Structure 1
Amino acid sequence: MPQIQKADPAALMAALQAEGRRRFGQLLTGIEAYRRHPARRDLADMPVLWDQGTTKLRDYRTPKSGPVDPRRPRLLVIPSLVNRYYVLDLEKDGSFLRWLGANGFDPFVVDWDGPGYVERSFSLTDYIAGRLEQALDAVKREPGGPIFILGYCMGGDLALALALRRQADIAGLVCLATPWDFHAENAAHAQMMGQVGRQLEPVLQILEELPVDMLQAFFSGLDPFQVLKKFQYFGTLDPASPSARRFVALEDWLNDGISLAAPVARECLSSWYGENTPGNLQWRIDGKVVDPAGLDRPVLNVIPSADRIVPPGSARGLSKRLRVVDEIVPNAGHIGMMVGRAAMPAVWQPLAAWIEGIVAK
């Protein structure tokens, strides 16, 4: 076995410092290019069908002439509480919601906003048994076909809990990158995140919410090198390219997050991540365990294979608990599955076909 030559410590240190400066320079170049980029999202907000407090239900139905098709599915789309809904309506040519409206569906999306005076005391029970049930009632009052609930990321957990409470009113459920077993792939990391959540208790008591900047720091901890890599990549793009415009649109969305009410922050960080209450069947809404096995409606579970926010094992833990489930495993990441170049053929179209198949039965 050849002997490994000993490196000169001084030379090695100099090389490491030079490489560090080079990468840091790439990072700063990318950030400055992002800040200077002129692209801005220019899509108008869709009409509000229903609202209460800081929660709105936006109507993405495509205007139609003639009578309403009684078999045209109505879709209640529920995003995460910590991100704005418009990642699903990011660009004119890259809008999941507008695509649905133009392809045989009547979509309605929940537009969460930061907690107001009333919502600062909200738990997940208040959001699910209160706001989401009322949003579902608003969709029910509109003419159309069977109702499906779609949930993205944390919104998938909310959607599941709502579906269990209102099974008689829905035809099916779609879960998109939905975490369930928080200890499936890296229990130690999740428990560390839960401990971080507990350390934030003084902030929660004083502010009655978890500020969005702290939330962003929390999620950055799930993939600490992602910020470095993405801005290094952006610095190499032609500013006039579609890829650069899409990057700016997504980064603007990421920086437009939503604070969490203190009780919800405790449930999600300390209980979900720290104690894995959903995966252990200990998560309760209105006093009742949220048990996927109790759902007798068909479910489509979409599990992106390259997801670093919701590891595939976490999402697949939900499939193991469900009685009637189909899976799609697109080769995509957590956000790319909904807005990436391959989102339409990999996710949108198979999702639409699945719903149409349920309706046709």
Structure 2
Amino acid sequence: MSKRPPPPQLRPRPRLGPRPLPQHLALLAWTMLSSQLVLPSWKNGSFGWKPHLRPAAEEMRPLLGKLDDKVFQRALMAEGIGRIAAFLAGVEAYRRHPYRRSLAEPPVIWQEGTTRLLDYGASGAGGVPVLVIPSLINRAYVLDLTARRSFLRHLAGRGMRPFLVDWDAPGAGEAAFGLEDYIAGRLGRILDVVTARAGPPVIAGYCMGGLLALGLASLRRSDVRGLLLLATPWDFHAPSARQSRMVEHLRSAFEDAIRLFGGLPTDFLQALFATIEPYGVIRKFITFGHFAAGEGKARDFVALEDWLNDGVPLVAAVARQCLFEWYGDNLPAKGEWTLLGQPVLPQTFDKPCFSLIPEHDRIVPPESALALAGALPNGRHLLVPLGHIGMMVGSRALAAVFAPAVKWLSSME
């Protein structure tokens, strides 16, 4: 009898990041070309520099007159081409890197549509139950990125009973969802499951998940112990209304995209985030190109980039609510964001709350999060010297974020 051939080896899914790659390449190309176009007006003093750049530009201008234009143009072109090549080398190194996330997944104890509830606590664990809610925009596993960088596993290791909501990408069952469907519906039923298994939990929310957590706690305050808020926005016009003005200017374009795609696709969302620090992705991939593949910092970079490029789309109603009602109209800070006909008012939520606010956050400015922390009557907050993502997966997250979170949660027993 002939032996069966071995099953074919599944090839890992190819990496697509950094997304959207055309945007980053276009920025590099535009930088190279615009650098050459601006040279004549720089030399004759007619170029309109930003105020903080003008002194340095004026100091350098006399030197330009001593340079051969053709030589300088060639040097500019060589520098631009070199940056593009270095960026692409970093991208190729990232795409070829052997790292693949292989953490064992905890038990799934509930599922509805594409939403799952994962139980990170040991069987029979008696610590404080913590229901952790991530953003709808990104995958939940940023809170369980690697064995060394896992907020959920850290909580479990300190005796807590953590549960994680895994939204996954929306499917047909979620296509018509709005925020009420997610908060009063899915999260309400998840809260029932957690309470039946472990008792009333502390609700923890990261980024947009903090707003969902506050909404749930406001609807079900008698069923929760308190709130742990991690980089949670509230005043979307703080420290300035620049983003709201951008939303208003682009409202028709956003509406066209939402109607065309039935929501906001991942690459559209990634493009919006890239505008916060346009050259940030370019710089970090150029730097990554110099890492050795076996270095720990290279594996950490790839693990995080895999998550960043594994985003999910927003369904139409949620996209409109987030863009136009939150960022555009700032309804939460005005006290006009409602769920089931009732306003979500942090000043009326009197359970214990702890807000961890990263000082160097470019996605949720500290002023936005502080507005919420200051409105909670039974709350305290801690500013941590980290960024939005670094607070959960950075090398200093353990001491700066995880430790104070555990200390506060332990007081909730």
TM-score normalised by length of structure 1: 0.93
For residues 148 and 95 of structure 2, what CA distance do their matches in structure 1 show? 23
CA distance 1:56–1:2, shift in 2 (3 Å) = closer
Tell me if structure 1 keeps the 8 A contact 2:128–2:412: no
Q: State which of 323, 335, 349 in structure 1 corresponds to 2:377.
A: 323
Which residue number corresponds to residue 190 of structure 1?
Answer: 244
Q: State which of 207, 211, 223 in structure 2 corresponds to 1:157.
A: 211
Q: 1:136 Cα shift?
A: 0.6
Which residue number corresponds to residue 119 of structure 2?
Answer: 59
Q: State which of 87, 98, 109 in structure 1 corresponds to 2:142.
A: 87
Q: Deviations over 1:252-287 (max 9, x none)?
A: 111111111100000111221111111222211122
Which residue number corresponds to residue 338 of structure 2?
Answer: 284
Supply the AA of the counterpart residue of 1:139: V
Q: How does 1:76-155 map to 2 (within 5 A)?
A: 76-143=131-198, 146-155=200-209
Q: 1:191 Cα shift?
A: 2.4
CA distance 1:272–1:3, shift in 2 (3 Å) = closer
- Look up the SS of the partner of 2:175 in the other structure: helix
Q: State which of 4, 9, 24 in structure 1 corresponds to 2:84.
A: 24
Q: 1:189 Cα shift?
A: 2.9
- Look up the SS of the partner of 1:5 in the other structure: helix
Which residue number corresponds to residue 306 of structure 1?
Answer: 360
Supply the AA of the counterpart residue of 2:388: H
CA distance 1:148–1:180, shift in 2 (3 Å) = same
Q: 1:215 Cα shift?
A: 1.2
Which residue number corresponds to residue 7 of structure 1?
Answer: 64
Which residue number corresponds to residue 391 of structure 2?
Answer: 337
Q: State which of 97, 100, 110 in structure 2 corresponds to 1:37.
A: 97
For residues 4 and 338 of structure 1, what CA distance do their matches in structure 2 show? 45
Q: 1:157 Cα shift?
A: 0.5
Q: State which of 300, 308, 313 in structure 2 corresponds to 1:259.
A: 313
Question: Does 2:107 align with 1:47?
Answer: yes
Could you say what the CA RMSD is over the residues aligned between the two structures, in angstroms?
A: 1.9
Q: Deviations over 1:293-342 (max 9, x none)?
A: 11001111111111111111111111122112211211111111001111
Q: 1:20 Cα shift?
A: 2.1
Tell me if structure 2 keeps the 8 A contact 1:203–1:210: yes
Size of the aligned set, in residue pairs, is 353
Identity %: 47
Which residue number corresponds to residue 303 of structure 2?
Answer: 249
- Look up the SS of the partner of 2:102 in the other structure: coil
For residues 59 and 231 of structure 2, what CA distance do their matches in structure 1 show? 48
Q: 1:179 Cα shift?
A: 1.1
CA distance 1:107–1:23, shift in 2 (3 Å) = same
Structure 1, unpaired ranges of 5+: none
Supply the AA of the counterpart residue of 1:270: F
Tell me if structure 1 keeps the 8 A contact 2:292–2:298: yes
Tell me if structure 2 keeps the 8 A contact 1:195–1:274: no
- Look up the SS of the partner of 1:303 in the other structure: strand
For residues 96 and 240 of structure 1, what CA distance do their matches in structure 2 show? 25
For residues 398 and 139 of structure 2, what CA distance do their matches in structure 1 show? 21
Higher gyration radius (CA): 2
TM-score normalised by length of structure 2: 0.81
